[in-house]
Amino acid sequence: MTLRITAILALLAWSAGAAGPPGRGPHAGNPVLPGYCADPSVVLFEGRFFVYATLDPWGGETLGCWESADFKRWTYRVLNWPTKSACTSPTSGGAAVWAPSVVKAANGRFFMYVSVGNEVWAGTAEHPLGPWRNALGDRPLIPGTFRPGFHMIDAEAFVDDDGAGWLYWGSGWNWTNGTCWAVRLKPDMVTFDGDVHDVTPANYFEAPFMAKRGGRYFLMYSQGVTIKDTYQVHYAVGDTPLGPFTEASNSPILVTDAARNVVSPGHHAVFRHDGRDYILYHRHSIPFDPAFVGRQVCVDEVEFTADGLIEKVVPSHEGPGLVRGRTDGRGVLPAVATASGEAGPDFAAGGATDDNYATLWRAPAGATHAWLQLDLGAPATVARQEIRFEYAWKPYRFSLEVSGDGRAWRTIEDRIREPATGSPVILDRAFTARHVRLSFPRQAKDVGVAVIEWEVLRETAKR
């Protein structure tokens, strides 16, 4: 009984908005994407943001793609390309789809450079969501055998002010021997224009990113081991796209802060919006588990100074103004969450209702009939629900049940036979009730039962 009372008090604390350990309190802007993604790339097109990322752990059959009009609320999109099967050649290794870089070229088309099977493939499309196609047919842009002894991964494209395209890529083996290559691209963006150059700066391992400010070229990159706590962002400066690059005196600029639950930030992109510069990067999920490769995408402001430096980045959980206020004006009904059980103290039911993508409710492993329940406090008219499961790309089987008294239940949505995928999963069925429950049968072995966020919206907030 004491344990049950303690659990209820903890849930009420979550509901009331009590602060938790760093990164685990309510209303956090970081991470910006629900779920586990890494190596982000971002483009802005026709007033909408598109973020492309590796699906963790260690990539998948394809990429993750997310779309947003405000950088606060994101919808998962399924791309037709790249896929592991479409990007396979005689020189391919077994690695999955990793590390996209997407840019808009001078010719108006979009180009994607992505690591598949330890080599770089190039795709092109007229729109950020595609349809995409292999730009070079059935062969990679950079085969896995291009430089034996090195990883042909993490290609990052850069379009200079004059419209010229440049490509940077390269890593090492066994977390050592990192090397960065660079080459100018012809206007078709998939043909090398001249020799490939070794432009490796000090403390480079992988994940190059080129930014240009004030006529100078900032080659940014990651060093360390992404699955440990040593991953961090460095930078070096040069006067041309090919350098030579000299590491800055204040490098690295983004590092682990274990006391604040920020572990191994890196493999980033930089973008400018409304006059401000931002750094989009991944870091480990909370709590940090060295045995689980579950990275999450975050964003913070970054400043390029007048004297040619990049200020050190202070990684935050609240995030910059760009991502704050995710639920403002949405008409989300307050609720107290309870559950059939939790996988541990870090996965309590309140994690699904705290407006924080770093927290979630997870049912115990192997649960045969798990449920997550919301008490709205009084009967309410509901028109819309948005559910963000742990993995946007995996199928979830559940039923939605409602009740006026918490005892007699009726099912109003059945996704048992036709499981739901995506993020958010949207339920537009209207009803009036005080209690709402998601019931889960046993899931597929590689899915489990976990909800990052469950929003119940009052009638006026449907559209």
Closest CA to 439 of 405, 408, 402, 404: 402
Q: Go through the domains of the chain in sequence order and give each one's CATH number.
A: 29-323 (2.115.10.20), 336-461 (2.60.120.260)
- Phi/psi zone of residue 260: left (φ > 0), alpha (ψ -120 to 50 degrees), beta? alpha
Residue 382: the pLDDT is 96
Which segments of 340-421 are extended strands (E)? 361-362, 369-389, 399-403, 410-414
pLDDT for residue 62: 97
The 10 Å Cβ neighbour count of residue 6 is 10
Cis-peptide, bond into residue 345, ω within 30° of zero: no
Residue 285 has a pLDDT of 97
User: What averages of pLDDT result for each successive group of 10 residues across the chain (463 residues)?
Assistant: 33 44 94 98 98 96 97 98 97 96 97 97 98 96 95 97 98 94 98 98 98 97 96 98 98 97 98 97 95 96 96 97 94 96 96 98 90 97 96 96 96 95 96 97 81 89 45
Separation between Cα atoms, residue 89 and residue 404, nearest integer Å: 59
pLDDT at site 447: 80
Q: Is 304 helix (H, G, I), strand (E, B) or coil?
A: strand
pLDDT of residue 17: 40
Q: How far apart are CA 198 and CA 13, in angstroms?
A: 55
Other C-beta atoms lying within 10 Å of the C-beta of residue 444: 11
According to DSSP, the residues that pair with 75 across neighbouring strands are 67
The pLDDT of residue 459 is 63
| Cα four-point dihedral sign 450, 453, 456, 457 | negative
Query: Would you state the pLDDT for residue 4?
Result: 34
> What does the pLDDT read at residue 9?
34
Residue-level pLDDT at 10? 36
Q: What is the pTM of this model?
A: 0.93
pLDDT reported for residue 19? 54
| Residues belonging to the active site | 39, 206
Q: Which residue has the tokens 């490098």?
A: 251
